[in-house]
Amino acid sequence: MVGGSGGGQFTYEFIAGPVGVHPYHCHVMPVEEHIGHGLYGVFIVDPKDARQQADEMVMMLNGFDTDFDGENNLYAANTIPFYYQHHPIQVSTNELIRVYVVNMVGLDPINNFHLHGTLYKYYPTGTDMVPSEFTDMTTFSQSERGILEFEYEYTGRYMFHAHLTEFSEKGWSGVFYVKDSSHLNTDVYDYGS
Amino acid sequence: MIMEVKRSSRTKTAVSVIVPFVLLAVMIGYVFGPGAELISFGVVIPEISIEKVEFVDSEIIATVRNTGPIAVDIVMADINDRIYPAAIEPDKHLERFESAVVRIPFEWNEGEPYAVGLTIDDGTRFEKQVDVAAPSIQPTVEMITYFAIIGTYVGIIPVMIGLLWFPFISKLSRSKYKFFLALTVGLLLFLGISAAEEAIEISSENLSDVFNGVLLVATVSVVSFLALNYVGEKLKKRAGASKLAGPVAIALMIAIGIGLHNFGEGLAIGAAIVLGEAALGAVLIVGFALHNTTEGFAIAAPMARTKLMIGRLAAMGMIAGVPAIFGAWVGGFVYSPLAAVIFLAIGVGAIFQVIVLIIRWIQNEEGKLSNSSVLAGIAVGMIIMYITSILV
């Protein structure tokens, strides 16, 4: 752990591992308040033998206490409340989708993820190659995370959201817009290459 | 020569009035103006007030005002702490004291409680709780008539009934009459206190702190007291030195004071009906109606020693009663907490001014206030009012 009065910069060097999806966050007191205002991030450690080719994305689940009353006012996947509800994530039919979900909501003890229209294989923390569940609903404690893998057979708009409905009505909800793979623009999904 | 001297002395006076103001402006400009760094400590805390919430077809409409020291942007609306898409008219940026209307599409249910929340650009949320949702009332002919009828039942009819005590009072012996005059003081004392309480209550519940509710009530009451004192004196002088003038003027002042008070009652009833609190509305109507017969009595008492003038008496009954109708209209159609507080506070000043008048009159007639029938009258008056007020 390193602390500073701001403006400084330092470099961490470590050997990546274990395989999976991990969060990092500020550890300066008051930690809860810092986490409640977004001082954290995610890194992914890929296995040496690459995972199956997929349309990959990260969803960091956030809670924000904007008025300092010790309760979150807004929730989101990737920081902006309702963003994916108004800007649906475009995916295609019969293509593997891999979502790295990391729950960084503080103040509330749990959060969850629920998917419409299909079920996913769930890999807790992403550390094992064998899924623990085939489901459409996963509960996350604080900083709990995992990898979701699924496909859509049919085109359409499918919600994903917290099934803690309060969170979903305060920003943590979005939509997958599933298009026919024959119309797919492959450039769009050329991530990281 | 003399003219010139006069003119120059006048100029001197004007300059001597203006100079302190100029110096004050220079100092304020220096301390607070652009580039001034003397006062740069502390944090300014923004504040907004949700002044009104209306329920219309598939929509909740909130009127919001910036009551803080700095400009704000309204960025988010919620119902029961759940975020909803909303529109704001004319726009989301509010300068100090500027207001806007937030329209939130929402399928609300009649009779349910709702909390309407607005969040400003620094993330602070402000809330207004509505205990019972009810469709906002539009000023149609039927509604105008309806409120007028209610105002008549509450204001005019009970006051007129109270006036019927006139013959009874006029036949009383001197000491009994004194008792009843003192009784009027007791009635008014109670009304004045209750109007002040009501005004302070409305201001603390519905007015933003910038209005300094209690001081607003105090200031308006005192100003109204002084203004009515002035008007009362003029009225007396104009009526001439005849023996009639005193009592009639006092009765008129009482009628005006009670009229302002009844305006407040009308407001309360209109607002209760608009807020959908039907039970409260009904109780208020019955309670105020019973209560207000005592007001008729208060008008009749000082005139009881004069000749019966039915026309005048009835006119005074109208002055006291009709404002209840206006109150019901204002309360029902254009409810504004600020207006309600101001009207009630004017009523407070009016009532206390009348109390002073009657006491002076008793003193003139009888000399002593510590007379047992006077003291008993005041006490009984307050007790009667308290008992009838329990019904409200």
Inter-chain contact B82–A169, Cβ cutoff 8 Å? yes
The 10s digit of each residue's pLDDT in A93-152 is 999 999 999 999 988 999 999 999 999 999 999 999 999 999 999 999 999 999 999 999
Q: What is the pLDDT of residue A139?
A: 95
Per-residue pLDDT averaged across A4-24, rounded? 84
A166 neighbourhood in chain B, CB within 8 Å:
81-82
Residues B377, A133: Cα–Cα separation, whole Å: 85
Q: Are strands A55-64 and A97-103 parallel, antiparallel or unpaired?
A: parallel
**pLDDT of A14 over the 80 cut:** yes
Task: Find the CB nearest A169 among B83, B124, B125.
Answer: B83
- Three-state secondary structure along chain A? CCCCCCCCCCCCCCCCCCCEEEEEECCCCCHHHHHHCCCEEEEEECCCCCCCCCEEEEEEEEEECCCCCCCCCEEEECCCCCHHHHCCEEEECCCCEEEEEEECCCCCCEEEEEECCCCEEEEECCCCCCCCEEECEEEEECCCEEEEEECCCCCEEEEEECCCHHHHCCCCEEEEEEECHHHCCHHHHCCCC
Inter-chain contact A73–B82, Cβ cutoff 8 Å? no
Angle at A95 between CA A93 and CA A96, to 5 degrees: 135
**Check: complex ipTM more than 0.85:** no
Inter-chain contact B124–A66, Cβ cutoff 8 Å? yes
Q: How confident is the model at residue A193 (pLDDT cuts 50, 70, 90)?
A: very low
Question: Quick one: tokens of B148?
Answer: 């007028």
* Higher per-residue confidence, A69 vs B195: A69
Cβ neighbours around B228 below 10 Å, total:
24
Inter-chain contact B83–A166, Cβ cutoff 8 Å? no
User: Which stretches of chain B drop beneath a pLDDT of 70?
Assistant: 1-7, 33-41, 232, 235-246, 272, 274-284, 287, 290-291, 335, 365-369, 391-392
CA A65 centroid distance within chain: 19
CA B262 centroid distance within chain: 10
Q: What is the pLDDT of residue A22?
A: 95
Single out the residue of B315, B293, B302, B322 nearest to residue B163, CA to CA: B293
3-state secondary structure of B133: coil
Which of A24-33, A171-180, B115-124, B344-353 bottoms out in mean pLDDT, i.e. has the lowest? B344-353
Contact by Cβ (8 Å): B56, B27? no
